[in-house]
A and B are shown apart, each in its own frame.
Chain A
């Protein structure tokens, strides 16, 4: 397709200078049944401009909460989150968030949904229609502008959500298991598109995922989180050039290494460590 080839080659852009995320001493408690429950405890993380960072970890390690905090949807936390030095105190168009479900408004067409994201943007009204059309084409959805979300397949709706998140050109894009609800084949397609778009836009990406293979394929770094309370256990560098081939043996090795780390029981204070260890798959 025309559009695909047009954007297939990485833009020869200079390295991005915007979109540096700094998280320092971040902690967050939830109150459950009158008791305070730590969800995130002492998170420190620096994400470079234009970097693609994935977060993996067991359920309940607070990774989705972390994204909500960075997005500014929840401002009740201890510590500091800064984007390009500016302290985050609420939502802003310089940050986008993509959820596991597409969350397009069912009462609007795809075009209206994407356009609505620009309601408060500084982009002049005259240019908005063109920008919306460009982003719809970028996600290979041209021809479906007037479709309502229920008329789109799961993968198309999620690509629509990605178009809506990108149209404001956020410096930092947060992705909360964006492909988790898609079938395996569609997921691979959208992963490839995500990589292509990221190589073109070069905005900073912070993605939560359950799919270690996806994390390794797309990311510059993979953050392994532990639960109860949520904290960073390990950071794995994926020092391979983009775009990548899925079949790279290094990727598979790294995937197995991260999986092994995730499966390993972590001794938590107060709990005995005499658990049976499951055999970890050998690195290939």
Chain B
């Protein structure tokens, strides 16, 4: 068995480069002068972390941002799956909405910010709308592809056993599309997380990791920014890992790729 197959060895290997980067960081900080402003010493970052954690702000920010991301994700992804199914099942819906969807998809999300600000202001609704859209796009596309490219070999079997359209959808089309739907969802999670931080940065105000970053920038608190960045990365990584587990469970019927 090769060394990195061992779980502990694998974790150690994954931590190798981050630790090297941190060492490099600390070295830069100790050079002093202008460098020290950009490369805050690790000790200061740890102090800022302790300060934010003690005041409860860090927890509030993390919870606010995570629940905002998940709310947007659930709204956007469920709308996306439903539209993807409708477009995949009914050619009329595909013809009616498909071109519009593909055109709108080309506009970067942040491009909508001014318009959305005008329509719904820059409060919670605007943030959720952006996050929801970020989750919506990849879900529609992948669900649609999964339904449309259902294999004839499977639909024939459904026909033989006299499945109705609803039975075909439930027992053949949806399970067949599940791998692609889950691919869409994992993209949606990544995009929703990025969009959440982005809208918080741009629309500021209130709690949230992005809002804290934005405020810290105005106050020139580099240490606080770095704490917020680290927590953002950590939560994003956790969400991804959890979803990968769920995906593995839902697709346990697939032969192992290894």
Contact = CB atoms under 8 A, between A and B. Distances in A.
A104 B18 CA distance: 47
A120 B161 CA distance: 7
B246 to A, nearest CB: 15
Contact of A116 (B156, B161, B164, B252): B161
- Tell me the interface secondary structure of chain A in the complex: loop
Interface string B149-180: 00001101101111110010001100110100
Contact of A119 (B153, B154, B171, B178): B171
Most A CB contacts (10 A, CB to CB) among B156, B160, B163, B164 go to: B160
Interface string B130-166: 0000000000000000000000011011011111100
A105 B164 CA distance: 17
A105 B175 contact: yes
For this complex, into which size category does the number of interface residues on chain A fall? 20 to 34
Contact of A120 (B153, B157, B162, B253): B162
Given A108-B253, A150-B255, A119 B161 contact: yes
A101 B156 CA distance: 13
Nearest to A109: B253
Contacts of A99: 153, 156
For this complex, into which size category does the number of interface residues on chain B fall? 20 to 34
A106 B162 contact: no
A103 interface: yes
B171 A91 contact: no
A73 B254 contact: no
B215 to A, nearest CB: 48
Given A103-B153, A103-B154, A105-B172, A119 B253 contact: no
- Tell me the interface secondary structure of chain B in the complex: helix
A120 B163 contact: yes
A149 B157 CA distance: 15
Interface string A159-170: 000000000100
Interface in A74-122: 91-93, 95-97, 99, 101, 103, 105-108, 116-117, 119-120
A105 to B, nearest CB: 7
B175 A93 contact: no
Contacts of B153: 99, 101, 103
Contacts of A144: none
A218 to B, nearest CB: 22
A106 B254 contact: yes
Contacts of B156: 73, 99, 103
Contact of B253 (A71, A73, A103, A106): A106
Given A92-B162, A150-B253, 12 more contacts: A71-B160, A73-B160, A91-B160, A95-B160, A97-B160, A103-B154, A103-B156, A105-B175, A106-B254, A108-B253, A117-B161, A120-B162
Interface of A: 71, 73, 91-93, 95-97, 99, 101, 103, 105-108, 116-117, 119-120, 148-150, 168
Instruction: List 5 A-B pairs, minimum CB-CB distance, nearest first.
Output: A150-B255, A107-B175, A148-B253, A107-B253, A120-B162
